[in-house]
């Protein structure tokens, strides 16, 4: 299977030692330019949707398909709200300190036990 791409094959469905049951697709080689100057090509089936970005096989950095526009991130970069952020929207630090003290009191007095599985 020297210079051909595989398609319609689930990994593990067929042995790679045999080409039985494997369908070969026409393919194209797409050139990518790494930010570090590496140039490499990746084979794609002609009907495949070609991604604009690919990881460089040399250095692992993001590489842009030649002549492709750098894709905009699908969502505007937005700060990820953590549980802590959400907690702070509902409680002030002062309130949390009081709650923490209460819980610590309970813990130290043995009234708070770790939930057993
Ligand atoms: Zn590279």
Residues 9-20 pLDDT 10s: 555 555 556 666
| Cβ contact 26:46 at 8 Å | yes
Structure tokens, 31: 């050139």
Tell me the CA–centroid distance for residue 41 and ligand 1, in Å.
12
Nearest Cα neighbor of 36 from 59, 66, 70 is 59
Tell me the CA–centroid distance for residue 57 and ligand 1, in Å.
7
Tell me the CA–centroid distance for residue 36 and ligand 1, in Å.
5
For ligand 1, a single-atom ion, the residues with CB < 5 A are 34, 36, 38, 56, 58-59, 61
Confidence band, pLDDT 50/70/90 cuts, at residue 98 = very high
| Contacts made by residues 103-110, CB under 8 angstroms, sequence distance 24+ | none
For residue 114, pLDDT beyond 90: no
This prediction's pTM: 0.43
CATH number corresponding to 26-69: 2.20.28.270
The three-state secondary structure class of 103 is helix
Residues 35-81 pLDDT 10s: 999 999 999 988 889 999 999 999 999 999 998 887 776 666 667 88
């Amino acid at each position: 299977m020297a210079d051909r791409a595989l398609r319609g094959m689930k990994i593990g469905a067929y042995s790679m030692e045999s080409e039985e049951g494997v369908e070969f697709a026409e393919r194209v080689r797409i050139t990518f330019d790494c930010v570090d100057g590496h140039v490499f090509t990746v084979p794609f089936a002609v009907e495949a949707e070609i991604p604009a970005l690919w990881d460089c096989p040399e250095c692992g950095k993001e590489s842009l398909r030649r002549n492709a526009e750098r894709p905009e991130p699908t969502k505007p970069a937005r700060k990820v709200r953590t549980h802590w952020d959400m907690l702070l929207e509902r409680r002030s630090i002062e309130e949390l300190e009081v709650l923490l003290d209460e819980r610590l009191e309970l813990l130290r007095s043995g009234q708070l036990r770790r939930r057993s599985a």
